[in-house]
């Protein structure tokens, strides 16, 4: 059954910030060149205080953030790192979509992510331990993820709707799906889906390492070689700071503002495994893929590009490839954005959707780093070099702990 608004829901604006670059232009250049920033994590609060616990945590961190002049410094004085990056990233998408020409009460914001400011909280707890009476009053606001909604709606005058949604590592794509529903139902004319930067502290890094989800013990002395989705030598995901903002609206409203859509959001689906644990389910992933294809009214043969979840988790990668094969998608080109930017967790789904649309615009597919020995050499991998390719129908997959499976089909607008 085709989604009622398939063909009419489009993306009219994009904003992106990642370790490899801030803004569409810098991000696209680095992506197509396969440039990375993997290293030992150096942001305060990211390494265990006791070095005897194991090798240092590695990942990719944003090296400086350019804040637009129009954003008042006072607004950011007590804002967390997640909130600062959110405001800067949303600024790009806001102006890209010319949302200042939409009535404020007809604009919405959905922030994808839960518990995204943990490092900021740990630093505050450490700084005020034993002197809680001196805790800054704004902590009563900033410890909540909804503070990102408050900062962004204040800065941009958004008066339609704003709330957060959580789907673990699928949060960014869940936010896009909810933005589609907000627009399709007429609650707002334009809705921004923001995949928020998840600011891990050493507690979360240690917990994810202990769980066996986060690498890398094997590649700790070679951070550049640690992030290797779908390679036989993978040992877990490698964190990467990132944030993505996607403006969703109906085609007619975008056309009225003379915005050329990046793509049509033709089909989407979210399916659950009824499972609290982190282990993936091929059946759940298949259900999400098939739901998105049915919603878009396309067959597997119509899909010419897949951007997978592809974290580098030993079980997760094999399960995902099994799902792709069982859905008949072996013929589609495939690369892994996380191999370049790392795993943005709550931001991942939004950032990877943006990567799909920027590749669609460029007519090229970015390389896949560290794919030396693919676990399934029969898939149509994009290897170490950029590949010219026209994307007409793509599917983006994003999964999360707790059995969350999401898929979105994108189609070229013209």
The dihedral sign for the CA sequence 154, 160, 166, 169: negative
Closest residue by Cα to residue 309 from 322, 293, 298, 299: 322
Q: Are residues 190 and 225 located together in one domain of the fold?
A: yes
Flag whether 117 is in a domain: yes
The dihedral sign for the CA sequence 173, 266, 317, 25: negative
pTM: 0.96
- pLDDT, average across residues 160-168: 98
Place of tokens 């889906």: 193
Flag whether 3 is in a domain: no
* pLDDT value for 5: 53
Q: Are residues 217 and 269 located together in one domain of the fold?
A: no
- Nearest-5° angle of CA 104, CA 7, CA 347? 60
Q: Are residues 314 and 198 located together in one domain of the fold?
A: no
* pLDDT value for 200: 98
Share of the chain above pLDDT 90, in %: 88
Flag whether 43 is in a domain: yes
Q: Are residues 249 and 270 located together in one domain of the fold?
A: no
With a cut of 60, say whether residue 7 has pLDDT above it.
no
The dihedral sign for the CA sequence 279, 282, 285, 291: negative
145 vs 73, residue with greater confidence: 145
- pLDDT, average across residues 377-389: 97
Q: Are residues 302 and 180 located together in one domain of the fold?
A: no
Q: How far is CA 185 from CA 4, 9, 180, in A?
A: 10, 11, 8
* pLDDT value for 171: 98
Tens digits of residue pLDDT in 277-313: 999 999 999 999 999 999 999 999 999 999 999 999 9
Flag whether 340 is in a domain: yes
Flag whether 4 is in a domain: no
With a cut of 50, say whether residue 6 has pLDDT above it.
no
Residues 6+ apart with CB under 8 A from 179: 108, 110, 191, 192, 193, 246, 248
Q: Are residues 169 and 189 located together in one domain of the fold?
A: yes
Q: Are residues 56 and 183 located together in one domain of the fold?
A: yes
With a cut of 60, say whether residue 48 has pLDDT above it.
yes
pLDDT band at 1 (very low <50, low <70, confident <90, very high): very low
Mean pLDDT estimate for the chain:
95
With a cut of 70, say whether residue 51 has pLDDT above it.
no
Flag whether 1 is in a domain: no
364 vs 130, residue with greater confidence: 364
Tens digits of residue pLDDT in 323-358: 999 999 999 999 999 999 999 999 999 999 999 999
The Cα 221–Cα 186 span in angstroms is 52
- pLDDT, average across residues 244-269: 97
- pLDDT, average across residues 159-172: 98
- Among 256, 282, 313, give the residue marking a domain's end: 256
Tens digits of residue pLDDT in 190-211: 999 999 999 999 999 999 999 9
* pLDDT value for 52: 65
pLDDT band at 72 (very low <50, low <70, confident <90, very high): confident
- pLDDT, average across residues 226-249: 97
Share of the chain above pLDDT 70, in %: 98
Flag whether 196 is in a domain: yes
Q: Do 218 and 235 touch, CB atoms closer than 8 A?
A: yes
The Cα 395–Cα 408 span in angstroms is 6
* pLDDT value for 414: 76
The Cα 11–Cα 265 span in angstroms is 7
Q: Are residues 334 and 204 located together in one domain of the fold?
A: no
Exposure string of 315-332, with b = 16+ CB inside 10 Å and e = fewer, is: ebbebbbbbbeebebbeb
With a cut of 90, say whether residue 217 has pLDDT above it.
no
- Say how many domains are in the chain: 2
With a cut of 50, say whether residue 216 has pLDDT above it.
yes
* pLDDT value for 2: 42
With a cut of 70, say whether residue 226 has pLDDT above it.
yes
Angle between helices 171-184 and 348-362 (to 10 degrees): 70
- Among 188, 223, 256, give the residue marking a domain's end: 256
Flag whether 2 is in a domain: no
- Nearest-5° angle of CA 333, CA 342, CA 218? 105
Q: Which domain holds residue 374?
A: 264-411
Q: Are residues 303 and 248 located together in one domain of the fold?
A: no
Q: Are residues 280 and 380 located together in one domain of the fold?
A: yes
Peptide bond preceding 261 in cis form (omega within 30 of 0) = no
- Among 256, 272, 300, give the residue marking a domain's end: 256
- Nearest-5° angle of CA 383, CA 385, CA 387? 90
With a cut of 80, say whether residue 94 has pLDDT above it.
yes
Q: In what order do the strands lie in the sheet with 58-60?
A: 38-40, 58-60, 239-240
pLDDT band at 4 (very low <50, low <70, confident <90, very high): very low
Q: Are residues 303 and 188 located together in one domain of the fold?
A: no
Tens digits of residue pLDDT in 306-325: 999 999 999 999 999 999 99
Give the CATH number of the domain where residue 360 resides: 3.40.47.10
Angle between helices 118-128 and 202-211 (to 10 degrees): 130
Q: Are residues 250 and 269 located together in one domain of the fold?
A: no
* pLDDT value for 347: 98
């Amino acid at each position: 059954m085709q989604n009622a608004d398939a063909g009419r829901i489009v993306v009219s604006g994009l904003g992106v910030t990642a370790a490899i670059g801030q803004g569409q232009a810098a991000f696209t250049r680095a992506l197509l060149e396969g440039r990375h920033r993997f290293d030992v994590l150096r942001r305060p609060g990211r390494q265990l205080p006791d070095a005897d616990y194991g090798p240092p945590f590695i990942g990719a961190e944003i090296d400086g953030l350019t804040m637009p002049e129009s954003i008042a410094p006072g607004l950011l004085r007590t804002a967390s790192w997640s909130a600062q990056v959110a405001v800067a990233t949303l600024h790009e998408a806001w102006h890209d979509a010319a949302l200042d020409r939409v009535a404020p009460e007809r604009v919405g914001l959905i922030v994808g992510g839960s518990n995204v400011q943990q490092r900021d909280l740990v630093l505050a707890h450490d700084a005020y331990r034993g002197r809680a009476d001196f805790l800054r009053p704004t902590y009563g606001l900033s410890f909540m993820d909804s503070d990102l909604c408050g900062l962004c709606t204040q800065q941009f005058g958004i008066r339609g709707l704003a709330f957060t949604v959580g789907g673990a590592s699928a949060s960014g794509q869940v936010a896009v799906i909810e933005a589609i529903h907000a627009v399709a139902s007429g609650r707002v004319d334009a809705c921004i889906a923001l995949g928020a930067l998840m600011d891990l502290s050493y507690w979360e890094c240690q917990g994810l390492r202990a769980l066996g989800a986060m690498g890398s013990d094997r590649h700790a002395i070679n951070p550049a070689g640690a992030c290797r989705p779908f390679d036989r030598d993978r040992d877990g995901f490698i964190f990467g700071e990132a944030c993505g903002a996607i403006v969703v609206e109906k085609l007619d409203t975008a056309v009225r503002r003379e915005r050329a859509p990046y793509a049509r959001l033709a089909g989407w689906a979210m399916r659950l495994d009824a499972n609290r644990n982190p282990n993936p389910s091929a059946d759940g992933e298949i259900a999400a893929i098939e739901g998105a294809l049915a919603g878009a009214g396309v067959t597997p043969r119509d899909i010419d590009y897949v951007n997978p979840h592809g974290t580098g988790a030993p079980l997760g990668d094999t399960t995902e490839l099994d799902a792709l094969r069982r859905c008949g998608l072996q013929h589609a080109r495939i690369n892994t954005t996380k191999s370049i930017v790392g795993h943005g967790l709550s931001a991942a789904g939004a950032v990877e959707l943006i990567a799909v649309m920027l590749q669609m615009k460029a007519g090229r597919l970015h390389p896949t780093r560290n794919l030396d020995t693919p676990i399934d050499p029969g898939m149509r991998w994009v290897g170490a070099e950029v590949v010219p390719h026209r994307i007409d129908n793509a599917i983006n997959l994003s999964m999360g702990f707790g059995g969350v499976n999401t898929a979105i089909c994108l189609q070229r607008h013209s």
